Chains A and B, each alone.
Chain A
Amino acid sequence: MAGKKESTFINMVLVLFIITLVASAALGGLYELTKEPIAKAKLNKKLKAIEEVVPAFDNNPSEEMYEVAMPSGDKLEFYPATMGGKLVGTAVKTFTTNGFSGYVWVMVGFKPDGTVNNYSVLEHKETPGLGTKMADWFKPVDPTKVKLSLVEKLGKLVGIKPAATKGGAEGDKKSIVGKNPGTINFTVSKDGGDIDAITAATISSRAFLDAVQTAYNEYMKKNNNKEISHVGTHSSATSKQATNSNKEGGKS
């Protein structure tokens, strides 16, 4: 190999120039290659969230998407899902700024009557470990699917029974799935509502429910539903109604 190059001005400029040129050419090429997968990955995330929160559909919700601007300047996105031309549900990308830090973005799916079908947390900056519990907390618990921890398994071997997972009525107070924000009070029980907050994360829970409520309000406005009138009222009458209308709930 040739000896060490002298540090003359021309040498330095030339070397730096060549290195930068090669680097940017390589990166430009790679960028073209990865452009599609990156765009796809982004889209997939949204599509997956939509699929998760609404019943089975056969249209392309992204194509029928419409937006509603909120006073803060942010937009709610609505993705109607239809099966054979009939509306089966609407996924709403909603948000709140009431969280612990910054925005919380949630995709929530409503059945045509406004009942929550399912939800998926898209993005949040809440306390890690607590805020992340949002992803599952408000969903119904299936006791058969709860994974036992190693300690519990070992305990079982020596005859100690693992603590029962709260299912049924008590577990269901956490869940928002199958409930209708129009008839049930979508605030945490601490504020007199009907939903149990995440342990030690009341603020994040309030924020989450607020996002769902916002989505519901706008969804109902869009669908010209009369039920909107009593949204957000804290009367006990609404909670009673809620128990009746809540088919999947264990309380009725």
Chain B
Amino acid sequence: MNNMQNFTKGFFKENAVFVLLLGMCPTLGVTSSAINGLGMGLATTFVLIMSNLVISLVSTMIPDKVKIPSFIVIIASFVTIVDLVMAGYVPALHEQLGVFIPLIVVNCVVLGRAEAFASKNKLVPSIIDGAGMGLGFSMALTMLGAVREFFGTGKVFDFPIFKENYGMLVFVLAPGAFLALGYLIAIINRLRKA
């Protein structure tokens, strides 16, 4: 597999959200608007790239039996870094994403890539894999956020498309997350089979 394929697989063939159905909690929890989805996606991307980078470097030095705990510590460190930096420099977004930032640590996408890819591959492919997966995840979250924001409030990225009064509020609320994701996956399934 060349680097290009390695990078793009995260967007379509192995998209974490739409195809692998991983990382569902943040996907549903923070996508009430496109900007929140993008913010969460990028935070996760950072953690993915950095943890893939470090793990591909040190994995040969870690005995098998403590592999998972070691990976968890490494991932949790980067999550904490993201948490602290966001609290300091983008407090508004940090508040919006709330408990889902520390929860990046249990996002199956991150640990999954560390275990399945980074621990078996060299530095460069691991970074590319992390970037591809992370940006694919960001794309999915932004898409879902945009759909929900559009139907719920008539805006996309805060840009008004139609009047807010005509929005279907349910899309910004909890049920809308499930409904919007359900229909999005249905559409993507249909497209992939066609």
In their complex, do chains A and B touch, with some C-beta pair under 8 Å? Answer: yes
State how many angstroms separate the Cβ of B130 from the closest Cβ of chain A.
18
Contacts A34-B85, A128-B173, A129-B173 given; does A149 touch B66 at CB 8 Å: no
Q: Return B63 CB to nearest CB of chain A, in Å.
A: 4
Interface residues of A (CB under 8 A from B): 1-8, 11-12, 15-16, 19-20, 23, 26-27, 30-31, 34, 36-38, 40-42, 44-45, 127-130, 147-152, 163, 199-200
Q: Assuming A23-B77, A149-B162, A150-B161, is B66 touching A37 (CB within 8 A)? A: no
B169 within 8 Å of A by Cβ? Answer: yes
17 extra A-B contacts, CB within 8 A, seeds A19-B58, A30-B84: A4-B63, A5-B61, A7-B65, A15-B61, A15-B62, A20-B73, A23-B77, A27-B80, A38-B87, A38-B88, A42-B91, A129-B153, A149-B154, A149-B160, A151-B161, A151-B162, A163-B163
CB atoms of A4 and B60 under 8 A apart: yes
CB of A43, distance to nearest CB on chain B (Å): 10
- Please, how many angstroms separate the alpha-carbon atoms of A36 and B84 in the complex? 11
CA distance A205 to B14 in the complex (A): 46
16 of the cross-chain contacts (CB-CB < 8 Å) are A2-B60, A7-B63, A7-B66, A12-B65, A16-B66, A20-B73, A27-B80, A34-B87, A38-B87, A128-B173, A129-B169, A130-B169, A147-B160, A149-B154, A149-B155, A152-B162
Asked if B143 CB lies within 8 Å of chain A CBs, one says no
In-complex Cβ contact of B88 among A34, A130, A147 (8 A) = A34
Question: Considering the complex of A and B, which 5 residue pairs feature the smallest CB-CB distances, nearest first?
Answer: A37-B88, A149-B160, A41-B91, A23-B77, A7-B63
**Least CB separation from A20: chain B residue:** B73
A150:B160 contact, CB within 8 angstroms: yes
Bound Cα distance A6, B64 (Å)? 8
B→A interface (CB under 8 Å): 32, 58, 60-66, 69-70, 73-74, 76-77, 80-81, 84-85, 87-89, 91, 152-155, 159-163, 165, 167, 169, 172-173
Q: B152 and A16: CB pair below 8 A?
A: no
Chain A residue at minimal CB-CB distance from B59:
A4
Q: How far, in whole Å, are A36 and B66 apart by their CA atoms in the complex?
A: 36
Assembled-state Cα–Cα distance A111/B61 (Å): 67
Contacts of A30 in B (CB 8 A): 80-81, 84-85
Cβ-closest chain B residue relative to A42: B91
Contact of A12 with B66 in the complex, beta carbons under 8 Å: yes
Bound: A26/B80 CA distance, A: 10
Assembly CA distance A129 to B151 (angstroms): 12
**In the assembly, what is the distance between CA of A151 and CA of B156, in Å?**
13
Which residues in B have their C-beta under 8 angstroms from that of A4? 60, 63-64
A26 to B77 Cα, complex, angstroms: 8
Q: Is the CB of B81 within 8 A of A27?
A: yes
